Protein backbone atom coordinates (compact mmCIF):
# COMPACT_ATOMS: atom_id res chain seq x y z
CA UNK A 1 0.00 0.00 0.00
CA UNK A 2 1.11 3.51 -0.63
CA UNK A 3 -0.21 7.04 -0.32
CA UNK A 4 -0.33 9.32 -3.35
CA UNK A 5 -0.75 13.08 -2.94
CA UNK A 6 -2.22 14.98 -5.90
CA UNK A 7 -2.32 18.77 -6.11
CA UNK A 8 -5.25 20.31 -7.95
CA UNK A 9 -5.13 24.09 -7.94
CA UNK A 10 -4.02 25.00 -4.42
CA UNK A 11 -5.64 21.97 -2.78
CA UNK A 12 -3.83 18.71 -2.00
CA UNK A 13 -5.71 15.41 -2.02
CA UNK A 14 -4.67 11.99 -0.72
CA UNK A 15 -5.27 8.63 -2.39
CA UNK A 16 -4.42 5.16 -1.15
CA UNK A 17 -3.07 2.71 -3.74
CA UNK A 18 -3.38 -1.01 -3.01
CA UNK A 19 -3.63 -4.37 -4.75
CA UNK A 20 -7.02 -5.86 -5.48
CA UNK A 21 -6.23 -9.25 -6.98
CA UNK A 22 -4.14 -8.57 -10.09
CA UNK A 23 -5.15 -4.90 -10.25
CA UNK A 24 -3.88 -1.84 -8.47
CA UNK A 25 -6.73 0.27 -7.10
CA UNK A 26 -6.67 3.85 -5.86
CA UNK A 27 -9.07 4.91 -3.14
CA UNK A 28 -9.81 8.58 -2.52
CA UNK A 29 -9.09 9.54 1.11
CA UNK A 30 -9.82 13.27 0.98
CA UNK A 31 -8.30 16.70 1.37
CA UNK A 32 -4.96 16.71 3.21
CA UNK A 33 -6.14 19.59 5.43
CA UNK A 34 -8.86 17.37 6.96
CA UNK A 35 -7.88 15.94 10.37
CA UNK A 36 -9.58 12.60 9.62
CA UNK A 37 -7.50 12.25 6.45
CA UNK A 38 -4.34 12.99 8.44
CA UNK A 39 -5.32 10.26 10.91
CA UNK A 40 -5.98 7.75 8.08
CA UNK A 41 -2.61 8.55 6.48
CA UNK A 42 -0.85 8.07 9.82
CA UNK A 43 -2.55 4.67 10.23
CA UNK A 44 -1.57 3.59 6.73
CA UNK A 45 2.03 4.76 7.09
CA UNK A 46 2.29 2.85 10.36
CA UNK A 47 1.60 -0.15 8.17
CA UNK A 48 4.54 -2.30 9.20
CA UNK A 49 2.55 -3.51 12.18
CA UNK A 50 -0.66 -5.43 12.68
CA UNK A 51 -3.68 -3.18 13.00
CA UNK A 52 -5.16 -3.17 16.53
CA UNK A 53 -8.50 -4.54 15.35
CA UNK A 54 -6.71 -7.78 14.35
CA UNK A 55 -4.82 -8.24 17.63
CA UNK A 56 -7.18 -11.04 18.79
CA UNK A 57 -5.95 -13.23 15.90
CA UNK A 58 -2.45 -13.18 17.38
CA UNK A 59 -3.29 -14.18 20.95
CA UNK A 60 -0.09 -16.22 21.43
CA UNK A 61 2.37 -13.37 20.76
CA UNK A 62 2.59 -9.63 21.31
CA UNK A 63 0.91 -8.34 18.12
CA UNK A 64 2.66 -4.96 18.41
CA UNK A 65 5.98 -6.72 17.76
CA UNK A 66 4.86 -8.48 14.57
CA UNK A 67 6.37 -6.89 11.46
CA UNK A 68 4.04 -7.45 8.50
CA UNK A 69 6.94 -7.65 6.03
CA UNK A 70 9.19 -10.06 7.94
CA UNK A 71 6.39 -12.23 9.33
CA UNK A 72 4.23 -12.47 6.21
CA UNK A 73 3.87 -16.25 6.25
CA UNK A 74 2.83 -16.31 9.92
CA UNK A 75 0.22 -13.58 9.37
CA UNK A 76 -1.18 -15.21 6.22
CA UNK A 77 -1.41 -18.62 7.92
CA UNK A 78 -3.23 -17.20 10.94
CA UNK A 79 -5.70 -15.18 8.87
CA UNK A 80 -6.47 -18.05 6.49
CA UNK A 81 -7.03 -20.45 9.39
CA UNK A 82 -8.94 -18.36 11.96
CA UNK A 83 -9.46 -14.90 10.45
CA UNK A 84 -12.60 -13.18 9.25
CA UNK A 85 -13.36 -11.90 5.76
CA UNK A 86 -12.34 -8.44 7.02
CA UNK A 87 -8.94 -9.82 8.04
CA UNK A 88 -8.62 -11.54 4.67
CA UNK A 89 -9.29 -8.25 2.86
CA UNK A 90 -6.57 -6.69 4.99
CA UNK A 91 -3.97 -9.29 3.95
CA UNK A 92 -5.07 -8.95 0.31
CA UNK A 93 -4.22 -5.25 0.51
CA UNK A 94 -0.78 -6.03 1.93
CA UNK A 95 0.35 -9.18 0.12
CA UNK A 96 0.10 -10.29 -3.51
CA UNK A 97 -2.41 -13.05 -4.23
CA UNK A 98 0.45 -15.23 -5.47
CA UNK A 99 2.08 -15.15 -2.00
CA UNK A 100 -1.23 -15.89 -0.27
CA UNK A 101 -1.86 -18.89 -2.56
CA UNK A 102 1.72 -20.11 -2.19
CA UNK A 103 1.46 -19.96 1.60
CA UNK A 104 -1.91 -21.71 1.45
CA UNK A 105 -0.39 -24.51 -0.64
CA UNK A 106 2.72 -25.21 1.45
CA UNK A 107 1.72 -24.38 5.02
CA UNK A 108 1.29 -27.19 7.53
CA UNK A 109 -0.58 -24.85 9.88
CA UNK A 110 -3.60 -24.46 7.59
CA UNK A 111 -6.17 -27.25 7.85
CA UNK A 112 -7.18 -29.12 4.72
CA UNK A 113 -10.70 -27.73 5.01
CA UNK A 114 -9.41 -24.14 5.11
CA UNK A 115 -6.88 -24.83 2.35
CA UNK A 116 -9.58 -26.07 -0.04
CA UNK A 117 -11.89 -23.16 0.80
CA UNK A 118 -9.23 -20.51 0.16
CA UNK A 119 -8.04 -22.20 -3.04
CA UNK A 120 -11.59 -22.07 -4.38
CA UNK A 121 -12.03 -18.48 -3.14
CA UNK A 122 -8.77 -17.35 -4.76
CA UNK A 123 -9.24 -19.37 -7.93
CA UNK A 124 -6.15 -21.49 -7.30
CA UNK A 125 -7.71 -24.96 -7.65
CA UNK A 126 -5.67 -25.67 -10.77
CA UNK A 127 -2.65 -25.91 -8.42
CA UNK A 128 -4.43 -28.42 -6.18
CA UNK A 129 -3.87 -32.18 -5.99
Tell me: the pLDDT tens digits for 103-125?
Answer: 999 999 999 999 999 999 888 66
Q: What is the per-residue pLDDT for 116?
A: 92
DSSP secondary structure string for all residues of 36-88 = HHHHHHHHHHTTTB--GGGGGGGTTS-GGG-BTTTTHHHHHHHHHHH--HHHH
Give the three-class secondary structure for 89. helix
**DSSP class of residue 110?**
S
Q: How far apart are CA 114 and CA 99, in angstroms?
A: 16
Tell me: the pLDDT tens digits for 24-38?
Answer: 888 888 998 888 888
Tell me: the pLDDT tens digits for 1-18?
Answer: 578 888 999 999 998 887
Q: What is the per-residue pLDDT for 87?
A: 92
Q: What is the per-residue pLDDT for 127?
A: 46
The pLDDT of 44-66, averaged and rounded, is 85
The angle at the Cα of 75, spanning 98 to 87, to the nearest 5 degrees, equals: 85
Q: What is the per-residue pLDDT for 47?
A: 65
Residue 7 pairs in a beta bridge with 12
Q: What is the per-residue pLDDT for 129?
A: 45
Q: Give the pTM.
A: 0.63
Amino acid sequence: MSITIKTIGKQRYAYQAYRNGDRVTQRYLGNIADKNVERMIAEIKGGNQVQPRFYPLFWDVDPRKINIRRNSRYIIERVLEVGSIDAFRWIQEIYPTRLILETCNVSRKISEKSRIFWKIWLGGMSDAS
